[in-house]
Amino acid sequence: MTADQARVLIAERFSGAQVDGAAPVVVSVARDAWLDLARFAKETLGCRFFSFLSAVDWKDEGLEVVCKVDNLDAGLSLLLKTRLGPGVSACPSLVPVYAGANWMERECYDMFGIAFEGHPDLRRILLGDDWVGHPLLKSYAVDTPYPPYR
């Protein structure tokens, strides 16, 4: 499975997907196709290795969830992206496909407040349960006071 083949296969299967790049192949899909894309990447493209999942806050354009998976045998890397859209903070969970998404999505929820639908155990992981806000959002100032550390 080379990057070219993967690009062709993804374009065939996901009509709305934007595909570019070679290493890694960057694939952007709509939120509805997110779980399908992950499943397709794992089962058809052989990307079994789950590298990381995170998000980017594009301010007015909303949040974007980013996930990287690899096919270690073929040397194929995929960077999967989906835009949630302005004001939306819900996204399908990848835990049914990749077990490693569990902690990563919890971290993402912790930092961005994205509610992953279908996650078995969505709670804060790095910050305390009583933390207010989601620090990696651009709207969260670095010097936001937090009790008792005011």
Q: Which stretch binds other proteins (CB under 8 A): 7-15, 30-38, 82-90, 93-101?
A: 93-101
C-alpha 112/C-alpha 116 separation (Å) is 11
* Residue 136 near other proteins by CB under 8 A: yes
C-alpha 58/C-alpha 137 separation (Å) is 9
- Give the one residue of 12, 15, 130, 142 binding other proteins; rule: CB under 8 A: 142
CB 88 within 8 A of CB 60: no
* Residue 98 near other proteins by CB under 8 A: yes
Cα-Cα end-to-end distance for the chain: 54
Q: Which stretch binds other proteins (CB under 8 A): 1-9, 30-38, 85-93, 98-106?
A: 98-106
Residue numbers 5-64 binding other proteins by CB under 8 A: 23-24, 48-52, 54, 56-57
Q: Which stretch binds other proteins (CB under 8 A): 11-19, 30-38, 71-79, 82-90?
A: 71-79
* Residue 100 near other proteins by CB under 8 A: yes
Encoded amino acid at 46, one letter: G
CB of 37 to other proteins, least distance (A): 16
CB of 28 to other proteins, least distance (A): 12
CB 106 within 8 A of CB 132: no
Which runs of E-coded beta strand occur in the chain?
18-20, 25-29, 49-57, 63-71, 76-85, 90-92, 115-117
Rounded-to-10 torsion of CA 83, 45, 92, 105: -90
Residues that bind other proteins (CB under 8 A): 23-24, 48-52, 54, 56-57, 66, 68, 72, 75, 79, 98-100, 102-104, 107, 111, 124-128, 135-136, 140, 142
